[in-house]
Amino acid sequence: MYENILRHPGPTPIPKRLELAMCKHIISHRTPEFVELYQETVNLVNPIFGTEQEILFLPSGGTAALEAAAVNTVSAGDNVVVITVGAFGDYFVSICEQHKFQVHKLEKAWGEACTAQELREFLQHAPKIKAVFMTYNETSTGILNPIEELAKVVREETDALVIVDGVSCIGGVAAKMDEWGIDILVTGSQKALMLPPGLSLVAVSKRAWQVIEANHTQTYYLNLLSYKSWAEKGMTPNTPAITLLYGLNEVCKLIAEEGGIEQTAERHDVMKNMVRAAMNALNIELLTDDAYASPTITAIKAPQGIALGDFLAHLKSKYHLDFAGGLGPLQGEIFRFGHMGYCFPSDILQAVSLIEAALQDFNYDFTAGAGILAAQKVFLKSTK
């Protein structure tokens, strides 16, 4: 049985080097060896977040980290703003409503980003807000929100915390948490960080810690003060995902070897442009415009005249190329091409070539090789 070529927006392919790192002999999380691993990994991962603050490791998926960010900073009845531009912005809405926050939703159409001016106008008509929740990279639509600009507006218009979901992009895009004024930034292991699911990372600003300390959250397992207290000893309050920490340590070294997060982000940007150029050359419509297009995932509409479900099933069964379909109102309308983490321009050329082969199987009208040539031009230009 052949393995499929996984081009989903998470989980993503795992490099062999990371698999080997995660096969190390297991250690106890209450030993000097673990403390050394923990402290070294924190120091290595800080530049990826763009912060000097302590980064906490939760043995959980990204959704738990989002909930931790919410329940540790906000109490029932507090006013919050949630910017939602797709399914994962709606996750934040659901979390906040579940905990009985007063949610003021700034909602954009799926496929659009939130602009700084839109947020400014919204905040000027909102009551006193305790936190603004926003999604850096919206996995359901392939939108990258202008987080630096949005965070600046929040600081100018309110005293609210800036809480950012970076689950599907940290490790693949620029992130300057301290410089941009982000108070809490979270991500998960199974996206651009190239690891299996099961580890989430939470970075917290000094200002956010002051709010957390005054909030007196009722949560136990997701109590960030507990994680902070144990982090000072180089440990976690509960049993951590030790093997994933081995892997994360190696991820950070891979990124450093590439030239740092700036070079890694540049590679992701090149791959984004390759995919977009290829689809344009094949006359396949993209969901988003270029201005806010994600470097880690591209949302692509069904090729004209082809049933998308049949096309994706054919790609997977004949060519072993596996894409994710659309979510919510975009189900059956788009497919999502993940190009994050362990993915390189050569992988984009491979995927475009197989897409072209499948298009020929469906008698789609196009010039054979047009998509590959367009993607090649983008790549070759980036290497000059």
CATH number at residue 276: 3.90.1150.10
Q: Does 347 reside within a domain? A: yes
Annotated ligand binding at 336? The verdict is: yes
Q: What is the pLDDT of residue 216?
A: 85
Same-domain pairing of 211 and 68: yes
Q: Which residues pair with 106 in a beta bridge?
A: 83
Number of other residues whose CB lies within 10 A of the CB of residue 33: 11
Q: In the numeric block, which tokens belong to residue 210?
A: 């002051």
pLDDT-derived band of residue 16, with 50, 70 and 90 as boundaries? very high
pLDDT-derived band of residue 384, with 50, 70 and 90 as boundaries? confident
Q: What is the pLDDT of residue 274?
A: 98
Choose the final residue of a domain: 208, 227, 257.
257
pLDDT-derived band of residue 54, with 50, 70 and 90 as boundaries? confident
Q: Does 163 reside within a domain? A: yes
Choose the final residue of a domain: 238, 257, 276.
257
Same-domain pairing of 299 and 251: no
CATH code at position 88: 3.40.640.10
Same-domain pairing of 164 and 194: yes
Q: Does 8 reside within a domain? A: no
Same-domain pairing of 154 and 293: no
Same-domain pairing of 98 and 116: yes
Q: Answer whether 153's CB lies under 8 Å from 119's CB.
A: yes
C-alpha distances (whole Å) from 153 to each of 42, 181, 309 are 30, 10, 41
C-alpha to C-alpha distance for 268 and 265, rounded to whole angstroms:
5
Type and span of the H or E element at 134? strand 131-135
Q: Does 6 reside within a domain? A: no
Q: Does 5 have pLDDT greater than 80?
A: yes
The whole-number average pLDDT for the span 242-267 is 98
Q: Does 252 reside within a domain? A: yes
Average pLDDT, the chain: 97
Number of other residues whose CB lies within 10 A of the CB of residue 100: 12
Q: What is the pLDDT of residue 324?
A: 98
Domain encompassing residue 345: 261-382
Tell me the per-residue pLDDT of 264-301, one tens digit each, with 9 for 90 and over: 999 999 999 999 999 999 999 999 999 999 999 999 99
The DSSP code sequence of 68-110 is HHHHTT--TT-EEEEEESSHHHHHHHHHHHHTT-EEEEEE--T
Q: Does 75 have pLDDT greater than 90?
A: yes
Q: Which residues pair with 321 in a beta bridge?
A: 5
The whole-number average pLDDT for the span 100-114 is 98
Percentage of the residues of the chain whose pLDDT score is greater than 90: 98
The whole-number average pLDDT for the span 55-63 is 96
Domain count, the chain: 2
Same-domain pairing of 268 and 204: no
Choose the final residue of a domain: 257, 276, 291.
257
Tell me the per-residue pLDDT of 318-374, one tens digit each, with 9 for 90 and over: 999 999 999 999 999 999 999 999 999 999 999 999 999 999 999 999 999 999 999
The whole-number average pLDDT for the span 189-218 is 96
Same-domain pairing of 351 and 249: no
Same-domain pairing of 215 and 320: no
pLDDT-derived band of residue 1, with 50, 70 and 90 as boundaries? low
Same-domain pairing of 309 and 247: no
Tell me the per-residue pLDDT of 137-193, one tens digit each, with 9 for 90 and over: 999 999 999 999 999 999 999 999 999 999 999 999 999 999 999 999 999 999 999
Same-domain pairing of 192 and 319: no
Same-domain pairing of 206 and 296: no
Torsion of CA 221, 160, 80, 205, to 10 degrees: -20
Q: Does 38 have pLDDT greater than 90?
A: yes
Same-domain pairing of 166 and 277: no
The whole-number average pLDDT for the span 2-11 is 93
Q: Does 11 reside within a domain? A: no
Q: Does 2 have pLDDT greater than 80?
A: no
Tell me the per-residue pLDDT of 300-328, one tens digit each, with 9 for 90 and over: 999 999 999 999 999 999 999 999 999 99
**CA 180 to mean position of chain CA atoms:** 18
Q: Does 79 reside within a domain? A: yes
Q: Does 233 reside within a domain? A: yes
